[in-house]
């Protein structure tokens, strides 16, 4: 399991915290997310407000489900992205693509 900065610091506050790269040229840097788990910018945007949309729960083993439960309890709801419509997702993706040359 990738526990983020915790793997280096062993500080529980660093669980699932990752260094994120700049968005410069983001459309050219697929796959996305720290693990490369999202193939497109659209999937990456969706993963931030509705991560369950992209998870095939029937393919998870008990340890993987445990990790999801643990992440849910550690997440600060105030830092979550609110709901986006598909049109809004497309608007965000269009904007992100403008950051590439």
Q: What is the pLDDT along the chain (101 residues), one digit of tens a residue?
A: 788 888 899 999 988 888 877 889 999 999 998 778 899 999 999 988 888 888 888 999 999 888 888 877 776 665 666 789 999 999 999 999 999 88
What is the domain partition of the chain in residue ranges? 6-97
Q: Are 4 and 16 in contact (CB under 8 A)?
A: yes
pTM of the model as a whole: 0.69
Q: Are 45 and 93 in contact (CB under 8 A)?
A: yes
pLDDT, tens digit (0-9, with 9 covering 90-100), for 61-81: 999 888 888 877 776 665 666
Bridge partners (DSSP) listed for residue 4: 17
DSSP code, position 97? H
Bridge partners (DSSP) listed for residue 38: 32
Q: Are 34 and 2 in contact (CB under 8 A)?
A: yes
């Amino acid at each position: 399991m990738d526990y983020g900065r915790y793997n280096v610091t062993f500080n529980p506050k660093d669980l699932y915290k990752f260094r994120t790269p700049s968005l410069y040229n983001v459309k050219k840097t697929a796959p996305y997310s720290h693990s490369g788990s999202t193939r497109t910018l659209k999937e990456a945007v969706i993963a931030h407000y509705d991560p369950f949309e992209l998870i095939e729960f029937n393919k998870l083993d008990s340890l993987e489900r445990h990790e999801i439960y643990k992440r849910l309890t550690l997440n600060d709801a105030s830092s979550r992205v609110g709901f986006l419509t598909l049109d809004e997702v497309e608007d965000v993706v269009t904007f992100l693509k403008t950051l590439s040359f």
